[in-house]
Structure 1
Amino acid sequence: MILKVNDDLVAEVCGTFYAAKVLGISVATVQGLVEKGELDAWKTKGGHRRISMASLRAYLTKHGSNDSANLLSPNLRVLVVDDDEVALEIIRSSVEKWSLPIDCTYMTSAIEAMLDIGKIKPDVLVSDLNIPKVDGFEFLRKLRSNHDFISTAFLVITGLTEEEIAARGGVPEGTPVLHKPLDMRWIHGFMSAMIVARSLYRDLPATGRDPFAR
């Protein structure tokens, strides 16, 4: 399922994962701030928490923080979306050991990712295809057709076979597919290449073409 949400509304709310990233704290701590009334939030009918961006900015101002310090990092911005928490932990622990300039955001919910991806503006999106409540294939196609993400590199991690992927329409052209169990040495090489590519293209004018496409 791909959600269609008013752009103005999306700009004024965020999920707990994004709020935690901006504040540099855990999701549990964000939830605690909500319970204390320090952040304005509510839950959707599906049980997903939505936090007011206005209250998030007010909290940052009150505590002398600056959200741009976290959001405008010179590091490679990577968003990993997978409901498989074991796979997420493998990626997280590996990234922490690498001496690479990577700033990773991890989400188990694709719905949260759809809400916050416009704010995170990842250089690289790592995503599973079998995502609860969301068509992962359509999710990637919609993002690839959106000019805001024309320079975002995609990496698919999946337990599906090549035949199963093809039967469902495939993934956007040029998207590498890594089958589980994950080869973290391959991912390390991929991220290293993306860091080099980003340094080469970040100062070039926009061309409307994906610089990472094959």
Structure 2
Amino acid sequence: MSLKILAVDDSRTIRDMLKLTLNDAGMELYLAEDGVHGLEVLDGIEPDAIISDINMPRLDGFGFIEAVRGQDRHRATPILVLTTESAPELKARARAAGATGWIVKPFDPVKLVKALNMVAG
């Protein structure tokens, strides 16, 4: 069974890298450009896991995670934060919002696939 992943990131480069990495791993990928778009895409799918950046326009990663966790059907969906940020207080804030894990960009494709399989597989 291939995993369905929603990736939310305002960087086209990161979205392209995720697409290459996760498609190569046999995963089905859905992409969104920011938190607002991510919620729109999420409305029509049941992902096995979500990847979200933190710093995005319109709705940042913290707001997106909180909105996802506010939906009964996604309360337990694993959410990995993928960001350039590494400050402990931001990690704590993401955990408090409902994030499952934290990965710092640039990401290692093998480690990302392993993390997704671990939280969603």
TM-score by length of 2: 0.84
- Percent sequence identity over matched residues? 22
5+ long unaligned stretches in structure 1: 1-73, 197-214
- Larger Rg, first or second structure (1 or 2): 1
Number of aligned positions between the proteins:
120
Q: 1:81 is matched with which residue?
A: 8
Query: CA, structure 1 residues 104+147, in 2 after alignment: closer, same or farther (shift >3 Å)?
Result: same
Look up the SS of the partner of 2:116 in the other structure. helix
Higher RCO (CA < 8 A, seq sep 6+): 2
Look up the SS of the partner of 1:130 in the other structure. coil
Once the two structures are superposed, residues 154-211 of structure 1 have per-residue CA deviations (whole angstroms, 9 ceiling, x without a partner) of 00001112245158x3333562100111121111112222453xxxxxxxxxxxxxxx
State the shift of 1:127 in Å. 0.4
Match of 2:24 among 94, 97, 101: 97
Query: What RMSD in Å do the two structures reach over aligned CA positions?
Result: 2.1
Once the two structures are superposed, residues 104-124 of structure 1 have per-residue CA deviations (whole angstroms, 9 ceiling, x without a partner) of 111223222212312112111
5+ long unaligned stretches in structure 2: none
Contact conserved, 1:80 with 1:104, CA < 8 A, in 2?
yes
State the shift of 1:133 in Å. 1.4
Residue 121, structure 1, aligned to residue 46, structure 2:
yes
Provide the rounded CA distance (Å) in 2 between the counterparts of 1:120 and 1:113: 11
Once the two structures are superposed, residues 37-83 of structure 1 have per-residue CA deviations (whole angstroms, 9 ceiling, x without a partner) of xxxxxxxxxxxxxxxxxxxxxxxxxxxxxxxxxxxxx5321100101
Query: CA, structure 1 residues 166+93, in 2 after alignment: closer, same or farther (shift >3 Å)?
Result: closer
Provide the rounded CA distance (Å) in 2 between the counterparts of 1:153 and 1:87: 20
Provide the rounded CA distance (Å) in 1 between the counterparts of 2:4 and 2:23: 14
